[in-house]
Structure 1
Amino acid sequence: MPDLVQERAGVQVLVCDPDGPPLVTTQDALDLIGAAFLGAEVVAVPASRLDDDFFALGTRFAGEVMQKFVNYRLRLVVLGDISRHLAASAALRALVHESNQADHVWFLPDLDALDARLRSAA
């Protein structure tokens, strides 16, 4: 399945294919942002597409990617199981907790959780 813009809970979401290209550079993030400009407000990226550097906060890759999405006024949603990364980093656990309290970046287990979050944010 290619990356597709879908309406989910009344919001246009670019749902990224789990088998799509990995995000390993900020240019990869900008490419997704460009694809989202076809009408999406939210970009839902499977955690499996994110390079391990995204979850290693010392690399600053996560911060760079998240800032790009904020700058372009798009929500970023990381979908899937990141428990392995959370177990290895208290800093990542804190980032995920704080992000999920705000509106710009969410870490959610699946599309059903995204739908529920979008409905509650409306």
Structure 2
Amino acid sequence: MPDEVRELAGVRVLVCDPDGPPVVTVRDALDLVGAAFLGAQVVAVPAGRLDDRFFSLDTRFAGEVMQKFVNYQLRLVVLGDISRHLAASSALRALVHESNRADHVWFLPDLEALDARLGATT
């Protein structure tokens, strides 16, 4: 399945293909931002597409990527199981907890959870 814009809970979401190109640079993240300009307000990226550096906060890659989405007023949603990364980093656990309490970046298990979360905020 290619990346596609879908409507979830009345919100247009760019749902990224799990088998799409990996996000290993800030430029790759900006490519997703550009794709979202087709009318999406949210970009849902499978965790498997994110380079492991995203989950290692000392690389600052996650912060750079998240800031790009915030700058362009897009929500970033990381979808999927990140439990192995959470088990390895208390800092990442704190980031996920705080992000999920806010409105710009969410870490969710699947599209159903995203649909429910969007429905609760619209």
- Alignment map for 1:8-19 (pairs within 5 Å): 8-19=8-19
**TM-score normalized by structure 1?**
1.00
Amino acid at match of 2:48: S
State the Cα RMSD in Å: 0.2
**2:91 match: secondary structure:** helix
Q: Does 1:116 find its partner at 2:81?
A: no
Structure 1 ranges of 4+ moved more than 2 A? none
- Alignment map for 1:67-86 (pairs within 5 Å): 67-86=67-86
**Structure 2: tracts of 5 or more residues without a match:** none
**TM-score normalized by structure 2?**
1.00
**Structure 1: tracts of 5 or more residues without a match:** none
- Alignment map for 1:10-29 (pairs within 5 Å): 10-29=10-29
Deviations 1:52-90 (A, max 9, x none): 000000000000000000000000000000000000000
**1:73 match: secondary structure:** coil
**How many residue pairs get matched?**
122
| CA distance, structure 2, for counterparts of residue 18 and residue 86 of structure 1 | 20
Matched with 1:43 is 43
| CA distance, structure 2, for counterparts of residue 20 and residue 121 of structure 1 | 29
| CA distance, structure 2, for counterparts of residue 15 and residue 33 of structure 1 | 12
Amino acid at match of 2:74: L
| CA distance, structure 1, for counterparts of residue 112 and residue 38 of structure 2 | 23
Amino acid at match of 2:37: F
